[in-house]
């Protein structure tokens, strides 16, 4: 790919929160941004906000729990653009109702894994062939320090006691997907990394979080726009390595 070609990015869960900000910041860099959304009305409203600033942003319906929806969306990207340069697996849920893993409802774990783990995996499986065909790719998996085994296992870590077992397990697995993708993709100019955005004021993060969505988007946008030869196979927070 030459540097003059316009890149195409897909950001899931881009109608609000950190995903919307990632879309906005990528579009500011003259990238065509496809905003993955579940609801077309919310998607149209979100895309319109970026378009009104002159950005090349469009919504694309993707429910990451529906393989047919992922297949249709990536098929449309192939038809319309013949390329996918950047995939940000941002969509996620935190639906834990019990704080104790001994009481974790398997249905809650199942739903959480479907969205936070299987969705990103299916998107990578669908998107990588398009990236390979252009010899360029950046994949960012939106994980969380809550998924860090190092922090979870350290009783002195401020993150160790945050009581969302299904969510934590899902982000640990998502980091595992990053590591395995990197092993498969070495030498392909497809860089794959996990990001923690920090604790961000969104519907998920709540009102007390210290960071704005724009601040939370900084590390994933940096990873989504890494130069060739940039880091791959890392887990980053504040653009710095975070323990797995």
Which residues are catalytic, by number? 167
Tell me how far apart the alpha carbons of residues 111 and 95 are, in angstroms, rounded to a whole number: 9
In this complex, which beta carbon is closest to ligand NAP, that of residue 123 or of residue 190? Answer: 123
Question: Smallest gap, in angstroms, from Cβ of residue 133 to ligand NAP?
Answer: 25
Residue pair 207/71 in contact (Cβ under 8 Å)? The answer is no
Give the interface segment with ligand NAP, choosing from 98-106, 125-133, 176-184, 202-210 (CB under 6 A): 202-210
Contact between 178 and ligand NAP per CB under 6 A? no
Question: Smallest gap, in angstroms, from Cβ of residue 204 to ligand NAP?
Answer: 4
Return phi, psi of residue 192, to 5°: -125, 125
Contact between 205 and ligand NAP per CB under 6 A? yes
Fill in the DSSP letter of residue 102: G
Q: Find the binding residues for ligand NAP in span 56-95 (CB under 6 A).
A: 62-65, 90-93
**What does each C-alpha distance from 175 to 4, 58, 171 come to in angstroms?**
32, 28, 6
Residue pair 205/142 in contact (Cβ under 8 Å)? The answer is no
Contact between 13 and ligand NAP per CB under 6 A? yes
Q: Find the binding residues for ligand NAP in span 39-58 (CB under 6 A).
A: 39
Q: Single out the residue of 47, 122, 131 nearest to residue 82, CA to CA.
A: 131
The CB density around residue 128, as the number of other CB atoms within 10 Å, is: 20
Give the interface segment with ligand NAP, choosing from 3-11, 47-55, 178-186, 195-203 (CB under 6 A): 195-203
Q: Find the binding residues for ligand NAP in span 131-170 (CB under 6 A).
A: 142, 144
Tokens of 78: 């192939």
Tokens of 95: 């639906």
In this complex, which beta carbon is closest to ligand NAP, that of residue 49 or of residue 188? Answer: 49
In this complex, which beta carbon is closest to ligand NAP, that of residue 18 or of residue 33? Answer: 18
Contact between 199 and ligand NAP per CB under 6 A? yes
Give the relative orientation of helices 17-27 and 40-51 as an angle to the nearest 10 degrees: 40
Tell me how far apart the alpha carbons of residues 102 and 69 are, in angstroms, rounded to a whole number: 34
Residues in contact with ligand NAP by the rule CB under 6 A? 12-13, 15-19, 38-39, 62-65, 90-93, 115, 142, 144, 196-197, 199-200, 202-205, 209
């Amino acid at each position: 790919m030459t540097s003059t070609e316009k890149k195409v990015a897909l950001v899931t869960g881009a109608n609000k929160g950190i995903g919307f900000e990632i879309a906005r910041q990528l579009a500011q860099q003259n990238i065509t941004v496809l905003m993955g959304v579940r609801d077309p009305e919310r998607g149209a409203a979100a895309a319109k906000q970026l378009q009104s600033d002159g950005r090349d942003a469009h919504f694309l319906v993707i429910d990451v729990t529906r393989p047919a929806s992922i297949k249709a969306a990536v098929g449309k990207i192939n038809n319309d653009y013949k390329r996918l340069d950047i995939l940000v697996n941002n969509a996620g849920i935190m639906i834990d109702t019990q704080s104790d893993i001994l009481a974790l409802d398997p249905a809650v774990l199942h739903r959480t894994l479907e969205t936070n783990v299987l969705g990103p995996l299916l998107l990578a499986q669908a998107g990588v062939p398009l990236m390979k065909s252009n010899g360029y790719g950046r994949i960012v998996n939106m994980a969380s320090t809550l998924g860090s085994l190092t922090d979870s296992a350290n009783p002195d870590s401020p993150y160790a006691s945050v009581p969302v077992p299904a969510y934590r397990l899902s982000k640990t697995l998502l980091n595992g997907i990053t590591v395995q993708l990197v092993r498969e993709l070495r030498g392909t100019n497809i860089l794959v990394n996990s990001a923690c955005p920090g604790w961000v004021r969104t519907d998920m993060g709540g009102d007390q979080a210290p960071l704005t969505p724009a601040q939370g988007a900084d590390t994933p946008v940096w990873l989504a726009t890494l130069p060739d030869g940039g880091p791959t196979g890392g887990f980053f927070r504040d653009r710095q390595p975070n323990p797995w």
